[in-house]
Amino acid sequence: MNSSDHALRGRNLSFSFGAVPVLWNLDVDLRWGTVTAIAGPNGAGKSTLIEILAGVRRALAGTVERGGEVALVVQRATVPDALPLTVRDVAMMGTWGSPAAPSGRVGARERRFRVAEALDRVQLADLADAPFGSLSGGQRQRALLAQGLARRAGIFLLDEPAAGLDAESRERTSSMLAEEARRGAAVACVSHDEDSIAAATSVIRLEGGRRVG
């Protein structure tokens, strides 16, 4: 990418589900060290956009240039209750194939350290050995946030990380994202919460798949 302050640049992004257009010709710029809120009414295309920015969904038209590794925190992930995954396992997944140190791959010790730190930050250290399936909705959301934090990626994309959280946890999530930006990350976060939107460095507003702000 030419301009060094740009972590991610999307140009002319369009997407349809079948014949139904969902995103129209969007431009998106994310800068290092900033938090961008992605706001808009239900069905505006926010989740679709974040998936395209993360590279887990392909735009039908347009380009996305990324200047670093991406961590994606998905919304309301479900795991079969019978799957024996602990909270620590879920956070550890964030380190899989994670951006290596310049010296090479991230070692097991470093991964364990990152996971412990991430679980501490989302206040789930006490539940590290609990089955993920036994958590409440809000706790699951925090475990997924820990998964993203453990990745230590330069570009941090989140689909409503505060959904289902109480006011205090929403506030904590918001300040954690600000901390990630302070360490230099480019953070973009789908949000319905006016306080988090107001706290962001910049806002992308979508309506009916078009950018209106």
Ligand X SMILES: Nc1ncnc2c1ncn2[C@@H]1O[C@H](COP(=O)(O)OP(=O)(O)OP(=O)(O)O)[C@@H](O)[C@H]1O
- CB of 90: closest distance to ligand X in angstroms? 22
The DSSP output letter for 9 is: E
Q: Rank residues 3 and 42 by Cβ distance to ligand X and give the closer one.
A: 42
- CB of 34: closest distance to ligand X in angstroms? 21
Q: Rank residues 48 and 173 by Cβ distance to ligand X and give the closer one.
A: 48
Q: Rank residues 47 and 86 by Cβ distance to ligand X and give the closer one.
A: 47
**Region of residue 4 (left: phi > 0; alpha: psi -120 to 50; beta: else):** alpha
- CB of 40: closest distance to ligand X in angstroms? 6
Find the DSSP H helices in the chain: 46-54, 87-93, 108-121, 137-151, 167-182, 194-199
Q: Rank residues 22 and 149 by Cβ distance to ligand X and give the closer one.
A: 22
Give the three-state DSSP class for 138.
helix
Distance CA 23, CA 17 (A): 10
Altogether, the residues listed in the chain come to a count of 213
- CB of 209: closest distance to ligand X in angstroms? 7
Q: Is 97 exposed, middle or buried (0-12, 13-18, 19+ CB in 10 A)?
A: exposed
Q: Which positions touch ligand X (CB under 6 A)? A: 17, 22, 40, 42-48
- CB of 198: closest distance to ligand X in angstroms? 18
Q: Rank residues 44 and 71 by Cβ distance to ligand X and give the closer one.
A: 44
